[in-house]
Amino acid sequence: MDLLGHKCNAVTGNPALFTSDRQDWETPPWLFNLLDKEFDFDIDCACTVKNKLGGCTLGFAVDFGIDALKLDWHKEMSAFNRKKHTPAAFINPPYGKGGLTGKWIQKTRDEAQHGFIYVMLIPARTDTKAWHEIIMPQAREIRLIKGRLTFNLDGEPVRDAKGKPAPAPFPSAIIVFRPSSIRGRFSSFIQPKKEGA
């Protein structure tokens, strides 16, 4: 079962697994660490107890029955209001059918209006309504990732039937929402780290 109670297809070790009902694809640690050095994350807004990322003090663990889309993230973020920097949250939302990713994008945009920084890792599906109506006009930064990410599953990189890393069948992007009058800036391209590097 996935995070939302859907029956999952068996993980076969090839890119076709990304078309399964499973939605809890884990952020590659190298990418989270790179972003954490920049933003110093306080909260992982879309995690499980097992995959909450190390730099985050708090995680909204969906496997404890927490529906993060119904929480007031900014109220939790207020507890981390530090003098040195604006509190920041990381979000690698479930990638699913039925507009689920779009709901997370909308929630993240809405929460950013309260004065905190929210950084999302999402598929770069630039043909979607969420990209054209929320991300392009309202995101502070859009960072396109060169190449395809190899996500983790249960703490290990996803691999194909031959044991080689199995990149996602879609491009990814980092979206930054923060209070600002400057919107829709395309920015840095992040090169995926090579296996074993």
**CATH number for position 80:** 3.40.50
pLDDT digits (tens, 9 = 90+) for 135-146: 988 899 999 998
| 17 is a domain residue | no
| 81 is a domain residue | yes
H-type alpha helices, 113-152: 129-130, 136-138
pLDDT attached to residue 118: 94
pLDDT digits (tens, 9 = 90+) for 146-176: 889 998 887 888 888 999 989 988 899 999 9
| 39 is a domain residue | yes
| 6 is a domain residue | no
Q: Quickly state the pLDDT bin for 1 (edges 50, 70, 90).
A: very low
| 9 is a domain residue | no
Length of the chain: 197
| 2 is a domain residue | no
Under 8 Å CB-to-CB from 76, ≥6 apart: which residues? 43, 58, 60
Rounded to whole angstroms, the Cα distance separating 120 from 128 reads 16
**Count of structural domains, the chain:** 1
Structural domain of 69 = 24-190
Under 8 Å CB-to-CB from 183, ≥6 apart: which residues? 137, 138, 139, 140
| 72 is a domain residue | yes
The answer to whether the CB of 170 falls within 8 A of the CB of 125 is yes
Task: Give backbone dihedrals phi and psi of 5, rounded to 5 degrees, phi first.
Answer: 85, 10
| 101 is a domain residue | yes
